[in-house]
Amino acid sequence: MARATFRTMPPSALDRAGFLARYGGVYEESPWIAAAVWDAGHATDEVARLAEAMAAVVDGAPRARQLELLRAHPDLAGRLAMSGGLTAASTSEQAGAGLDQCSPAEFDEFTRLNGAYTARFGFPFIVAVRGLDRQAILERFRARFGNPPEDEFREALAQVHRIARLRLEALAQARV
C-alpha cells in the first residue's frame, strides 16, 4: 500500500517559519505542537508519520498543556460558530456536518449540552464531525456526557488527534 505524502509544499521543503505557517493550525489554536515536531526533526513528508509525531507531542505534554489544548476547541454549534469567530478549519468542519443549519430546537439542545458538558468536564465537547450529521453528533454528545471524567479526557484527546489527522490529510491533498 502506498504511503500518503504531501502533494504540494511538503514539510521537508519548508523552513521552520513556513512549517509553522502551514501546519501550526492542525491542532486548534496550538502551534506549539508543530513547533515541537519541527524542533525535534520529525517534520516528515509522510502524512501518517507526521500525524504520529504531532500526537506524540500532545501525549507527552503535561496534563495542564493537554487541558489547554482541549479548551482551545470551540463549542459545537455555539455562539462563536454563529458569529463567524471560528478558525477556517473549524468553520468548514462544522458546516460539513450541517451544524450551521441547526433548527432552533437543535441549537437550543447544543447550547444546553455545551454548557452542561463544560461545567462537568472543564473543557468543551470534542468530536471529529466529518462523516457525522447533527443527529449523530447529538447522540454522541448525550452518550459521552455520562462518561467518568478521566475516560472523557482521554476520549477528547483521541478526538483531537483524529481531527488533526483529518486536517493533515486535507493539507496533503491540497493543490496550494
Q: Which of 73, 134, 144, 161 is catalytic?
A: 73
Question: Does 42 participate in catalysis according to the annotation?
Answer: no
Those residues whose C-beta lies under 8 Å from the C-beta of residue 116, and which sit 6 or more positions away, are 145
Q: Helices 149-173 and 47-60 sit at what angle, rounded to 10 degrees?
A: 150
Contact 24, 164 (CB under 8 A): no
Q: What are the CB-based long-range contacts (under 8 Å, 24+) for 149-154? A: 149/120, 149/121, 152/121, 153/66, 153/67, 153/70, 153/121, 153/123
Catalytic site positions: 73
